[in-house]
Amino acid sequence: MTNTNDRIVVEHLSKSFGSREVLSDVSFTVKDQEFLSILGPSGCGKSTILRILIGLIEPTSGKVFKNGVDITNFPPAARKMGIVFQNYALFENMTVLGNVEYALKMDKTKKADSRRIALELIERVGLSEHLNKRPYKLSGGQQQRVAIARTLAVNPDVILLDEPMSALDADMRLSLRHELKSIQKEFGSTMVYITHDQEEALAMSDRIIVMDAGVIRQLDTPQNIVEHPADDYVQSFVLDNMKLKMVSLAGFNIA
């Protein structure tokens, strides 16, 4: 942890459920304001990493550092991280404002300012006109923005996203990529993004972790992964799948 640019350092993380090992000796770092994707097929252990990072499950062995502090045994709320789940898990009984404001009202030090902070966040994610709507009345993309705003309310310095696009249709996903990136720029947040979609990972990420069966196959920039895949697995999972997809999109020229 010599590099002050490192937000999160993960060292030798392993996790077993009973006799089944889902993560074995995983180490990596997440840099400040980086958009890091963890890419792999379902069951490769990527969601387990996310849950260990935020403290919802404990690792069998290994450590997690944030800003140089060992947070391996911290409870989730003490980690100053936010998470956006695949299905957003919005509070259906509350309005958009209620969702964003809820956590702030719990915090005694922020209670007085909760309304102001919430309104500001909602405006910054562009949902001001939907302030008093219930989540079920919003589109998938709008719901995602509510989830992000709710997470941002507690002022996390890292945001974890667990396949937030997988519930949306293809058109929506494309436009939301830009939206998510612009939110990241706007708030200067560090994001760890879980996906099984190669194209998504390549298009959005500063760096990508390619995972398979609980181990990291390659951690590199999109360009390096495309140009120098570390092994056959990366070659076939990332690149061949991509080509297939592009061919099936018809007429798309693979340069």
Partner 1 sequence: MIEEKQKLLLRSGHASSAAVKALLFVFFTVVVALPLLRMFVYLAEVDIVSIVTSMRFREALSRSVTVSVVSMLISVALALLLAYALARSNIRFKSVWRSVLVVPMLIPSISHGIGLLILLGRNGFLSKLLGLESGIYGFWGIVIGSVLYSFPVAFLMLSDILLYEDSTPYDAASVLGIPKLRQFGALTVPYLRKPMITVMFAVLTMIITDYGVPLMIGGQYNTLPVMMYRDVIGQTDFSKGAVIGLVLLVPAVVAFLIDLLNRDKGNLSFIIQPFRLVKSRLRDGAAYLVCAVVCVIVLLPIGAFLMLSIVEHYPIDMTLTWHNFERVMGMKTSLYLRNSLLIATGVSLIGTTLGFCAAYFTSRMKSWSSRLLHLVTITSMAIPGLVLGLSYVLFFNGTPIYNTMMILILVNLIHFVSSPYLMMYNTLNKLNENLEDVGATLGVNRFRLIRDVVLPQVKGTALEMISYFFVNSMMTISAVSFLWASNTKPVSLMIPQFEATMNLEAAAVVSLLILAVNLGVKVIISLSHKVFAGKDRD
Q: Does 106 engage in binding with partner 1 (CB under 8 A)? A: yes
Rounded-to-integer distance, Cα 35 and Cα 45, Å: 19
CB closer to partner 1, 116 vs 137: 137
Q: One symbol per residue from 154 to 173: x for binding partner 1 (CB under 8 A), - otherwise; what is it? A: x-------------------
Region 115-144 residues binding partner 1, contact defined as CB under 8 A: 134, 136
Q: Please, what is the angle between helix 114-124 and helix 140-153, to 10°?
A: 140
* C-alpha torsion sign, points 87, 91, 94, 98: negative
85 binds partner 1 (CB under 8 A): yes
Q: Is residue 78 a contact residue for partner 1 (CB under 8 A)?
A: yes
Is position 39 an interface residue for partner 1 (rule: CB under 8 A)?
no
DSSP character at residue 250: S
Least separation in angstroms between residue 254's CB and partner 1 is 36
When asked if residue 70 is in the footprint of partner 1 (CB under 8 A), the reply is: no
By CB under 8 A, residue 42 contacts partner 1: no
**Least Cβ distance, residue 33 to partner 1 (angstroms):** 21
Q: Which of 214, 125, 128, 132 is nearest to 176 (CA)?
A: 125
The correct pick among 81, 96, 183, 216 for binding partner 1 (CB under 8 A) is 81
Does residue 76 interact with partner 1 by CB under 8 A? yes
Under the binding rule (CB under 8 A), the answer on residue 247 touching partner 1 is no
> Between β-strands 6-17 and 81-84, what pairing exists: parallel, antiparallel or unpaired?
unpaired
Show the tokens assigned to 64: 């997690």
Residue 87: name the closest of 17, 147, 175, 36 by CA.
Answer: 147
Burial of 81 (0-12, 13-18, 19+ CB in 10 A): buried
Q: Does 107 bind partner 1 (CB under 8 A)?
A: yes
Single out the residue of 2, 4, 5, 93 in contact with partner 1 (rule: CB under 8 A).
93
Specify the residue, 87 or 166, whose C-beta has the smaller distance to partner 1: 87
Would you say 50 or 208 has its CB closer to partner 1? 50
**Helix pair angle (96-106, 140-153), 10° resolution:** 20
- The token duo for 63 is 């450590």
Strand ranges across the sheet with 61-66:
20-31, 6-17, 61-66, 69-70
Q: Which residues bind partner 1 (CB under 8 A)?
A: 54-56, 73-79, 81-83, 85, 87-94, 102-103, 106-107, 134, 136, 150-151, 153-154
